[in-house]
Amino acid sequence: MRQTMLAASLGLALGATAWAGIAAGQPAPAAPAEALRFSDLAARLEAQGFLIREMEREREGFEVKATDRDGREVKLRLDAATGQVLRSEDRR
């Protein structure tokens, strides 16, 4: 019973704090963006001339091992929500 009361009190306090921030004109926290599906990401990369060898979902995005249109093996780090290339390295 005591734990239930504590949880309810904490919930009310947090809710009141969030409401106070919104009432003061502060923006509500943004919802996390949804990640692209593997198939959508693969289609985007293939349209750019990449041949995908391996693709993994990681906490901060995707890691892709691929061959570019010039035949070089590359390792790409991609944003999970946009598919934007964050980092690219040659794999020699």
**Cβ count near 37 (within 10 Å):** 9
Closest CA to 79 of 29, 40, 25: 40
Against a cut of 0.75, is the pTM above it?
Answer: no
Under CATH, which number does the domain 38-90 receive? Answer: 3.10.450
Tens of pLDDT, residue by residue over 29-79, are: 444 568 889 999 999 999 999 999 999 998 889 999 999 999 999 999 999
Percentage above 90 pLDDT, the chain: 46
- Run of H or E residues at 45: helix 38-47
